[in-house]
Amino acid sequence: MDSYRIKVVETLKKIFKDKSYSNIVISNDIRNIDLRHQALYRKSVLGVVEHLMFIDWIINQMSNTKTKKMETDVLVVLRLAVYQMFFLDNSYENMVVSESVQYIKDKGNIRASKFVNGVLRNILRQKKELLEKMEHLPREEYLSVKYSYPAELIKRWQLQFGKNKIEEVLSANNAEAPLEIRVNNMKISRDELLKIFNEKGIIAERCKYAHKGIRILNPIETDKTEEYKKGLFSIQSESSMLAGQILNPAEDSLVIDMCAAPGGKSLNASEIMNNTGKILSRDIYPGKLSLIEKEKQRLGLNNIKAEAYDATVTDETLIEKADFIIADVPCSGLGIIRRKPEIKYNRTEAEIKEILNIQLKILENAAKYLKRGGMMVYSTCTTNKEENLDIVMEFLKHNKGFALEDFSDKINDFPDAKKGYIEIYPHVHGMDGFFIAKIKRL
């Protein structure tokens, strides 16, 4: 088996067996992959996780031993092979089978290698028939298997977006997420950085909505470029960048970031403020604060103070002290499935309901810290209305001294910006699913 495929298998074993987050495991393991294979490695790992229910359905059609009872090595090798057969162009199917069998042989399991060979050869022979069988499943089951989404989540999205839109929604959330970066405007302009990229053969373009955003169209090792080391840019999704753009904190002001780690929104605010004033970047997890410290040094920022604090607990020392507040609250993450596909399997209705109380409590605390005339953004990386507009309206109902603020001058093509909020959807805008509301204390 090719070395990159072996690393894909080893990465997937960590994700499935240890229940590790795919993005974290990939970031660690990709360092050992040759640059030529990094894009395919990432695509393969995320692809298997993304299409897991489809893959397991195919395997279970051809195997008497079901996936739930298989040895880890056998199961992961089969999953990768099926992904390559059905979702990768030019995957050289016979080679995929041979290398999968060899991997198990090299583990010293001859019996299992014969099993893997038999299952994969049967799948190869009956590919067309398997797909036809899938298409004849009952509608709800077909959607669940084809797009690899739990029936519970499909039902939720059908109610929100409509049955006629559901396949478009599922397909968009399974698409490969682009690499987007935020320009450090204190050191370089977006056009200047684009010119440098062009000269180096890096294909890039302006983001459509984020004024500081660039989308990289061909894969690069961003953290190894001179421009990254010099602090000219940071990796951040376009949707996430928009929170800072919409808040637009003024120079020499006090900003509180309620749930800051890994720090992208605090760092963006610091750049917007030209490294003036003070940003208090708080997070409940002390171990994550080092990420903020490391990034502010790389970017040349010194107005950020990172500290551990639970955003659900009121800090009496900050009452009415802040000019601007970022309340990017914990959420179900249903807007970033493209980047963390395991999210779709791990979110239950009970968990979503539990998180609503946390979100409202953080928003209420943020409101206490805001000066009269001050502004805050409430944001999430989910498309779930209960966590988004419903939370904001519930807050406003019980807090008459606050109102949504028109920010249509900060972003184009979002009519609801006039009402003080925007809802971003992958199937509509091609960005991560996000919600951003701007709230003013009157």
For residue range 180-205, what is the model confidence (pLDDT) as tens digits? 999 999 999 999 999 999 999 999 99
The pLDDT, as a whole number, for residue 417 is 98
Does position 426 have pLDDT exceeding 70, yes or no? yes
The pLDDT, as a whole number, for residue 437 is 98
Contact 410, 399 (CB under 8 A): no
Q: Which residues pair with 206 in a beta bridge?
A: 214
381 noted as active-site residue: yes
The pLDDT, as a whole number, for residue 1 is 63
From the list 267, 241, 249, 243, the residue with the least C-alpha distance to 371 is: 249
- Mean predicted lDDT score pLDDT of the chain: 94
The pLDDT, as a whole number, for residue 220 is 76
- β-pairing, 304-308 vs 204-206, is unpaired
Joined together, the tokens standing for residue 291 give 């990420």
* DSSP annotation string for 23-53: HHHHHHHGGGS-HHHHHHHHHHHHHHHHTHH
Where do the CATH 3.40.50.150 domains begin and end in the chain?
244-441
Where do the CATH 3.30.70.1170 domains begin and end in the chain?
179-235
* Second-level CATH architecture of 179-235: 2-Layer Sandwich (3.30)
**CATH 3.40.50.300 matches 3-136:** no
The pLDDT, as a whole number, for residue 353 is 87
Q: What is the mean pLDDT of residues 14-32?
A: 84
* DSSP annotation string for 296-362: HHHHT--SEEEEE--TTS--GGGTT-EEEEEEE-----TT-TTT-TTHHHH--HHHHHHHHHHHHHH
Question: Which residues contact residue 99 at a Cβ distance below 8 angstroms, ignoring those fewer than 6 apart?
Answer: 1, 2, 5
CATH code of the region 244-441: 3.40.50.150
Which phi and psi angles does 441 have, rounded to 5°? -85, 125
Contact 260, 266 (CB under 8 A): yes
The pLDDT, as a whole number, for residue 346 is 86
Reply yes or no: is the peptide bond before residue 138 cis, omega within 30 of 0: no
Joined together, the tokens standing for residue 6 give 């072996």
Confidence of residue 306 (pLDDT cuts 50, 70, 90): very high
Mind listing the pLDDT tens digit for each residue in 224-265?
899 999 999 999 999 999 999 999 999 999 999 999 999 999
Contact 337, 324 (CB under 8 A): no
The pLDDT, as a whole number, for residue 91 is 67
What is the Cα–Cα distance from 319 to 304, expressed in whole angstroms? 19
Mind listing the pLDDT tens digit for each residue in 73-104?
999 999 999 999 999 876 688 889 999 999 99
Residue that wins the pLDDT comparison between 28 and 197:
197
Q: What is the mean pLDDT of residues 13-25?
A: 85
The pLDDT, as a whole number, for residue 184 is 98
Catalytic residue among 207, 259, 331, 381: 381
Confidence of residue 357 (pLDDT cuts 50, 70, 90): very high
Confidence of residue 207 (pLDDT cuts 50, 70, 90): very high
Where do the CATH 1.10.940.10 domains begin and end in the chain?
3-136
Joined together, the tokens standing for residue 97 give 């089978």
Joined together, the tokens standing for residue 373 give 């005339």
State the alpha helices, DSSP H only, in 126-189.
127-135, 139-147, 151-161, 166-174
Q: What is the mean pLDDT of residues 35-44?
A: 85
The pLDDT, as a whole number, for residue 321 is 98
